[in-house]
Chains A and B, each alone.
Chain A
Amino acid sequence: MMDALNLISRTQGYYVRAIDNGPIEEWPEFFTDDAFYKVTTADNYNRGLPAGIIWANNKAMLKDRVSALKEANIYEPHAYRHMLGQPAILEEDGAGATSETSFVVLRVTGNGPTEVFASGRYLDEYIFTDGKALLKVRTVVCDSSRTDTLLVLPL
């Protein structure tokens, strides 16, 4: 059995790969069925405000995000590049761990330049199952209160 740092690093590596390179359909598979996922800002987080830019309390809602962005929503093609810091393991036991990981996401829209789209941290709760770390809770806390233009792909 790998240690928590290894398990989490592996999951996070594949997680960002699914978003940045695709296929995006793999993204929900890093979560448990009853997972909670929210994208918010540091200001909202610090004030304890519950809403999110994206808010999901199960994996089905994450799959719906993916089908909406593939089939329904209209936007200019764009791509992300996630740069993650090393996860800080805050608590761990054999069954799971909580961790915090900083990120920077660069975005390229259409034939535009590479732009810094978001920076922040993942506040995570992982469950270890079948030798893999699955996200039970991921709160994406963006440092800035502003979102440029729109958020389509998840963070």
Chain B
Amino acid sequence: MSEGSGPATAMVDRTWPQSLTEVPYWVFQDEEVYKAEQENIFHGPFWSYLCLEAELAEPGDFCATFIGGQPVLVTRDHDGEIYAFENRCAHRGALIAMEHYGHAKDFTCVYHAWTYNLQGDLTGVAFEEGINGKGGMGKDFCKAAHSPRRLRLANVHGLIFGSLNNDVPPIEEYLGQEILERIERVLGGRKPVVLGRFTQTLPNNWKLYMENVKDSYHASILHLFFTTFGLNKLNQKGGIIVSENGGHHVSWSAINREAEAASHYKDQKIRSDSEYQLEDPSLVDSFSEVGDDITLQILSVYPGFVLQQIQNSIAVRQVLPTGVDTTNLNWTYLGFEDDSEEQQLIRMKQSNLVGPAGYVSMEDGAIGGFVQRGIAGASNEFATVQMGGDQAISSESRVTEASIRGFWKVYREAMGFSIEEEA
């Protein structure tokens, strides 16, 4: 594993463009890149989202999830603390637990019944002493030395992040103040309730989905639902925040009260001159989610986490690569413990906006595949990411690709590519 700084599997033989506006297509296609990502990114000094604290409410609750391709097990023990360790038996490697979400007193590997407590300590080895003095483990076998590797953990307003790397910075430093505040805005002091979990399998490299999440440029172009039905609110204000290192972002928009009050649109929140109208426009009847005017906030944490507020549809998304050109996108839809019945109903209706069949998200399930297919045969060519300049910084305009450039800035460094000399 990595010692100090620098990628574990630096790909110095690959050259990456100097400018952040060029992304080589081989990065979405190459098996070796994919393997190096497992080391450099998913086992690297980054925080990955694992699950919600609310999903591990009781001692014994567990969640079997992944960091990249690495299976990990997250548990709550009787001391009330959350633990996480690699979900791989210390004996010969079988999964320790298979159920996605479950409850257990302890874990027994099905293969040869080695047992682990909820903190991941190896506590029992079947026939450790042999039978009738014959067979069994050697005298010098020490169970404590064979426990699965534990993860570093961080809890950010109920979001559990884990890291397989000891050099990972503290989560507050990793996220930075602006991102922390925007997580707090949605989740701070609230008790989330899981409303549903759905997995969408994407026919593309995981990074194409992350580009899409960070791409505030495509939203009103690819997703025509709001436009078609005349549901775009007027005079919205908004912007994007790119974290200092470039890796995380927030794209947001809010109702512009002043502009609204000044216009005669006051009682008429939406345009009605569109050709098509919803038969049940209550789909977009929303309440102020946390008492402010923000109606949309898409937040990503490097490498593969998204916290989403689209009106009153709140969800977290976990992006898990399963191959060079396959990705699992795990959606968890959220409500909150103190939601009124009316608010619950609004969340149910608005769940139609997101997920695998979401009115404003279904296109994102397919678009990565269109790119993956489009770039076949173009490994030596580059994507052009110039909208809004060549920097990876915050902006008031959402017509920018700044946060995509930020993603690649962190990525190319984490992977240890050689950066092209300036011409």
Q: Real complex partners, A and B?
A: yes
| Residues of chain A at the chain B interface (Cβ within 8 Å) | 39-41, 43-44, 47, 49-58, 60-61, 63-65, 67-68, 71-76, 145-152
Size of the B side of the interface (Cβ < 8 Å), in residues, is 43
Beta-carbon contacts under 8 Å, B203-261 to A: 203, 222-225, 227-229
* Given A60-B280, A75-B366, A150-B366, CB of A55 within 8 Å of CB of B348: yes
- Chain A residues contacting B283 (CB-CB under 8 Å) are 61, 64
User: Does A55 lie within 8 Å of B194, measured CB to CB?
Assistant: no
User: Does A149 lie within 8 Å of B365, measured CB to CB?
Assistant: yes
Q: Which residue of B225, B351, B363 is within 8 Å of A52 (Cβ)?
A: B351
User: Does B198 lie within 8 Å of A53, measured CB to CB?
Assistant: yes
If A50-B344, A72-B225, A150-B200 are given as contacts, then 11 extra A-B residue pairs at C-beta distance below 8 Å, sorted by A number, are A44-B198, A51-B347, A53-B355, A65-B352, A68-B225, A68-B228, A68-B359, A74-B222, A76-B370, A146-B201, A149-B366
* Given A43-B100, A60-B280, A64-B283, CB of A73 within 8 Å of CB of B359: yes
- Chain B residues contacting A147 (CB-CB under 8 Å) are 198-201, 356-357
Tell me the minimal C-beta distance from A87 to chain B in angstroms: 25
User: Does A49 lie within 8 Å of B349, measured CB to CB?
Assistant: no
Ordered by A's residue number, 26 sampled pairs between the chains whose C-beta atoms are within 8 Å are A39-B357, A44-B196, A49-B194, A51-B195, A51-B333, A52-B348, A53-B355, A55-B348, A55-B352, A56-B352, A57-B348, A61-B279, A64-B280, A68-B225, A68-B228, A72-B227, A72-B229, A75-B362, A75-B366, A145-B197, A146-B201, A147-B199, A147-B357, A149-B200, A149-B202, A151-B356
For the complex of A and B, the 10 pairs showing the least CB-CB separation, nearest first, are: A51-B196, A60-B279, A150-B365, A60-B280, A72-B228, A147-B356, A151-B357, A51-B195, A150-B362, A72-B225
Nearest CB in chain B to that of A150: its residue: B365
Nearest CB in chain A to that of B368: its residue: A149
Nearest CB in chain A to that of B347: its residue: A51
**In the complex the two chains form, what is the Cα distance from A67 to B200 in whole Å?**
23
- Chain B residues contacting A74 (CB-CB under 8 Å) are 222-224, 363
Q: Is the interface of A mostly helix, strand, loop or mixed?
A: mixed
Tell me the minimal C-beta distance from B309 to chain A in angstroms: 16
**In the complex the two chains form, what is the Cα distance from A152 to B369 in whole Å?**
16
Most A C-beta atoms less than 10 A away, residue of B202, B203, B280 = B280
Tell me the minimal C-beta distance from B301 to chain A in angstroms: 23
Q: Which residue of A54, A58, A60 is within 8 Å of B352 (Cβ)?
A: A54
Q: Which residue of B201, B229, B347 is within 8 Å of A148 (Cβ)?
A: B201
**In the complex the two chains form, what is the Cα distance from A146 to B101 in whole Å?**
15
**In the complex the two chains form, what is the Cα distance from A32 to B224 in whole Å?**
29
**In the complex the two chains form, what is the Cα distance from A57 to B359 in whole Å?**
17
**In the complex the two chains form, what is the Cα distance from A39 to B355 in whole Å?**
12
B276 at the interface (CB under 8 A from A): yes
**In the complex the two chains form, what is the Cα distance from A35 to B206 in whole Å?**
38
User: Does B199 lie within 8 Å of A146, measured CB to CB?
Assistant: yes
Q: Which residue of B195, B200, B355 is within 8 Å of A50 (Cβ)?
A: B195
Beta-carbon contacts under 8 Å, B265-291 to A: 276, 278-280, 283
* Given A73-B362, A150-B200, CB of A54 within 8 Å of CB of B357: yes
- Chain A residues contacting B345 (CB-CB under 8 Å) are 57
- Chain B residues contacting A65 (CB-CB under 8 Å) are 352
